[in-house]
Structure 1
Amino acid sequence: MKKKMISLLLACSMLGTLITGCGSAEPATSDSGAATQQTTETAKADTSDNASSDEQITLTMMFSGVATEGDFETEVLPKLVKEKFPNIDLEVTKLPDDQYYTALKTKLASGECPDIILVQPKYAGSNSVIELAKAGYLLDISDLEFLDKAGDAAKEAFSYDGKVYGVAQGVSILGTYYNKKMFEDNNLTVPKTWDEFLNCCEVLKNAGIQPIVMGDKDAYVMQFGLYQIAANEIYPQNGNYDDQLRTGETHFTDEGTWDKVLSMYGELYEKGYVIDSSLGLGAAQSIQMFVDGEAAMTFDGSFNASALCAAGAVDFERGYFPLPAVNGDTYASMAPGGGPAVYSGTKHPDEVKAILNYWFDGESPVYQAFASTGNVLITYGYGADQNDPMYDEFMNLYNQGKAWYWCNQAWPAGTENEMEALFGSMIGGQGTTVPDITNGMQNKLEELLDQ
């Protein structure tokens, strides 16, 4: 997604709407006093409990965001770390996004970077885990005990050259919100294949109901449907597709990849399943139309659940499902949220890793406090059973390893803008074809990689 989406949506993965949702169903090792004599080998054997010693140390952490009263990162986390590790003082600084990126760049260049920093998955943003790991700024944390609980998708999104360098803080979802009453009134059930989905659209259209509303005037929302389709039709066949785009082993123009995705999504517009005026509607307008019962479905993210579940002109129950695959073997489009990484120049690697193990172990007081903020969609441990049931199908797929990151997280920033502009031209009737779009995406990719 474009830079706005990268910074906005990943930040939005931290919104409380992830926990509350909008379905009508119910929502939801002991410290060592002799650690001064502890060997490095022993420390690595149990990093969760052996960070305590007689030496008082101060660790620093820098995150993006705005600290509020009772803030988890700046107030709660340091307090609970101190209770667990009496010899450690954790000092946390939060900066607004733009200031954070500027400060991080300066501190990395000066060699005075905080021990813990916020990174984004794959190539997303100017603090992407891959670029920072490639530059040697991050510590390999592959040995952290909780990583297997976090799941393969979370590990893969924060990996480089086979090693893990960052921690995902929950996930954000792209899916299909739907009006349950409209489905029930027309004897429709949640589709399990692409053909079934098209049939739902046709039945609704024949009943005089607009099947789908989208606010394509804000072009980034085009990604909400496209990435769901790509999660089914590209990545299950080649999980290295995006990495290979960078090496030239694959191309956006390869048959059966983005031509298929764009054609499938384009069909929804050609048949009138997506509202004809989408290019004249903004994202907020399309959300309001869905809320007011003027369309049966819309493609959007868990980060917008609060708006999509707000009271409108009519009262109805919402549902949420992933766009199904052609063959019915459906994958979810889910982006692990940005999270902490360890600066490779830290003077206290074992202590920092011990804090991360404690923070993300799934059950510690600090993990419970983290989960209870309501700022993340929890994928394991305490709080995972409190996510709104509307997200159950997505979480089941995620925990089965059947979920893929958002495509743009692996692309040079700007590639998605070219895709949006050309797709908008196609659905706007300007004669642009699917090959025009894939060629444009490939040319833009190569241009950006050469910079």
Structure 2
Amino acid sequence: MRPHRLLIPSASLLLTLPLLAACAGEGEDSGDGITVFAAATERSSMDAVIEAFEQAHDITVTASYADTVELQSTLRTQLSAGTGPDVFTVWPGNGNSAALQVLQPAGFLADLSDTEFAGRIAEGDRAVTDVDGATYLVPVTYAGIGVLYDTATLEEIGGEAPQTWNELIDLCGQARDNDKVLLSLGNQTDWVTQLVTYSLVASLVYSEDPTFDQDLANGQASFTDSGWRDAFEQYLEMDEQGCFTDSPLGTSFEASVSEVAQGEAVGVVQVTATLAQLREETGDAELGMFALPATDAPDQTLMPGAVGAAYGMGAEADNPEGARQFLEFLGSDEGQRTYADEGGSLPALPDVDFDADPALQTLVDYQADGRTVPFMDQLWPNPEVQQEHFTAVQQLFAGDTDIDQALARLDESYQED
């Protein structure tokens, strides 16, 4: 999942790797340098880290960025050909073709267990950073999914952050009465489609069944016969009640952020990393965040929260020593602070002295209270489930499928090897 100058560029800006511009060390001797390939969503944070790293090390870093889908396909092709970058984005856990549980079994990742940061990773995060007791990623940010909103726009419609499902639906009508929408929704961008579902599922599934992922893996649960059905139903109900942009399938991620910045929408359901882009577009606006309620019992509301940005090193890296130094920097207090501060996120490693953006206080509180659940795709066994989810939501909004078919396809894709 992710998301900074964050999240993904429009289709017109998709870049293939040979055309990607170097963002550090351009024109310098890179004989002792390293190459970094990262998601476009992480550009501002990575640029800031590279600048700090190069000031402290005699190593040139050449960084390239690509849209998430482009990165996943290009990276896999390069790694298979033995021409991959030294350091690159790796999604924690499972769920897509550039995720830990996909790349590590293929032999594409170097073992990082002997690094200093490996010993600092929180035990609860090792399920998505380690394989068979060995560490293959440096987790850099802790991200959440919730409603990022402009407090002035919320006040303008006479509303306040909803605590229950009924309050949420009422607020959608209140926004419409004031010629706005409560939530901009960019479902034209495929990865955006998952965010509302995840937010609803956090409460509708995990508040009653914290072991759902294990039950699913053991064949004792299914998408069809779980709170996932309720989540899809409520997702569509929100659309019917006018909670979203008039044409979600015709709205991109970038356009959805701009709708909030321009005051056309109160907020947007997004990963916390999007806060940086919102701040860039809204200037001095005061931004806030609330968890998307899915029930009428506030104490049942949970938030998706998990390791966000993470990086690994190629098993065949051209400069393994330099790559390790760079990853150690990402895992240092300075690297964690620099990356998180620039991107409006939280450090992934515990005990890092860090002043969080005030807009992220909700996530900080939910994390401290143990009221977060992992991003759902991080624990899925293959990338097909996430892709099926993207497609299912777009087809539901287009009226080309129904909830029964969508859930059945998720169950089927989950069983694929």
Q: Do both proteins adopt the same fold according to a TM-score greater than 0.5, normalized to the shorter chain?
A: yes
CA deviation string 1:289-311 (max 9, x = no partner): 33222233322233433543455
* Residues 1:403 and 1:122: Cα distance change in structure 2 (over 3 Å): same
Describe the SS at the equivalent of 1:212: strand
Partner of 1:268: 238
Partner of 2:197: 226
Percent of matched pairs sharing the same residue: 21
Shift in Å, 1:212: 2.7
* Residues 1:104 and 1:236: Cα distance change in structure 2 (over 3 Å): farther
CA–CA distance in structure 2, aligned partners of residues 419 and 359 of structure 1:
32
Partner of 2:37: 64
Partner of 1:31: none
| Contact 1:140 1:164 (8 Å CA) reproduced | yes
| Contact 1:342 1:352 (8 Å CA) reproduced | yes
Tell me if 1:392 matches 2:361: yes
* Residues 1:240 and 1:113: Cα distance change in structure 2 (over 3 Å): farther
CA–CA distance in structure 2, aligned partners of residues 281 and 371 of structure 1:
28
| Contact 1:134 1:160 (8 Å CA) reproduced | no
CA–CA distance in structure 1, aligned partners of residues 325 and 251 of structure 2:
49
Deviates more, 1:375-384 or 1:328-337: 375-384
Partner of 1:38: none
Partner of 2:228: 258
What are the residue-to-residue correspondences of 1:106-121 with 2, within 5 Å? 106-107=81-82, 119-121=90-92
Describe the SS at the equivalent of 1:296: strand
Q: 1:178 aligns with which of 149, 170, 177?
A: 149
Describe the SS at the equivalent of 1:252: coil
Shift in Å, 1:273: 2.3
CA–CA distance in structure 2, aligned partners of residues 425 and 301 of structure 1:
23
- The TM-score normalised by the length of structure 1 is 0.66
Shift in Å, 1:176: 1.0
Tell me if 1:301 matches 2:271: yes
CA deviation string 1:186-238 (max 9, x = no partner): 55322233333233224434555433332333343222211111222224544
What are the residue-to-residue correspondences of 1:317-332 with 2, within 5 Å? 317-326=286-295, 327-328=297-298, 329-332=300-303
* Residues 1:209 and 1:370: Cα distance change in structure 2 (over 3 Å): closer
Tell me if 1:339 matches 2:314: no
CA–CA distance in structure 1, aligned partners of residues 34 and 166 of structure 2:
49
The residue type paired with residue 237 of structure 2 is E
What are the residue-to-residue correspondences of 1:3-402 with 2, within 5 Å? 9=2, 12=3, 15=4, 63-65=36-38, 76-77=52-53, 80=56, 94=63, 97=71, 100-107=75-82, 119-135=90-106, 150-161=121-132, 164-185=135-156, 187-206=158-177, 209-238=180-209, 241-242=212-213, 245=216, 248-253=219-224, 255-309=225-279, 317-326=286-295, 327-328=297-298, 329-341=300-312, 360-362=331-333, 374-375=342-343, 377-379=345-347, 380-381=350-351, 384-385=354-355, 387-402=356-371
Structure 1 gaps of 5+ residues are 1-5, 19-58, 83-89
| Contact 2:112 2:137 (8 Å CA) reproduced | yes
The residue type paired with residue 337 of structure 1 is G
Describe the SS at the equivalent of 2:148: strand
Shift in Å, 1:284: 3.3
* Residues 1:73 and 1:290: Cα distance change in structure 2 (over 3 Å): closer
* Residues 1:331 and 1:146: Cα distance change in structure 2 (over 3 Å): farther
Shift in Å, 1:91: 8.1
* Residues 1:93 and 1:399: Cα distance change in structure 2 (over 3 Å): farther
CA–CA distance in structure 1, aligned partners of residues 143 and 351 of structure 2:
17
| Contact 2:199 2:303 (8 Å CA) reproduced | yes
CA–CA distance in structure 2, aligned partners of residues 141 and 160 of structure 1:
11
Partner of 1:55: none
| Contact 2:189 2:253 (8 Å CA) reproduced | yes
- The TM-score normalised by the length of structure 2 is 0.70
Q: 1:422 aligns with which of 384, 387, 392?
A: 392
Shift in Å, 1:437: 1.5
* Residues 1:389 and 1:103: Cα distance change in structure 2 (over 3 Å): same
CA–CA distance in structure 2, aligned partners of residues 141 and 400 of structure 1:
31
* Residues 1:137 and 1:402: Cα distance change in structure 2 (over 3 Å): farther
CA–CA distance in structure 1, aligned partners of residues 155 and 162 of structure 2:
13
| Contact 1:153 1:398 (8 Å CA) reproduced | no
Describe the SS at the equivalent of 1:384: coil
Shift in Å, 1:265: 1.4
* Residues 1:143 and 1:250: Cα distance change in structure 2 (over 3 Å): farther
| Contact 2:206 2:373 (8 Å CA) reproduced | yes
Aligned residues: 378
The residue type paired with residue 119 of structure 1 is V
Shift in Å, 1:242: 4.2
Structure 2 gaps of 5+ residues are 8-31, 66-70
CA–CA distance in structure 1, aligned partners of residues 392 and 294 of structure 2:
24
The root-mean-square deviation of aligned C-alpha atoms, in Å, is 4.4
CA–CA distance in structure 2, aligned partners of residues 195 and 297 of structure 1:
18
Describe the SS at the equivalent of 2:184: coil
CA–CA distance in structure 2, aligned partners of residues 237 and 390 of structure 1:
28
| Contact 1:156 1:164 (8 Å CA) reproduced | no
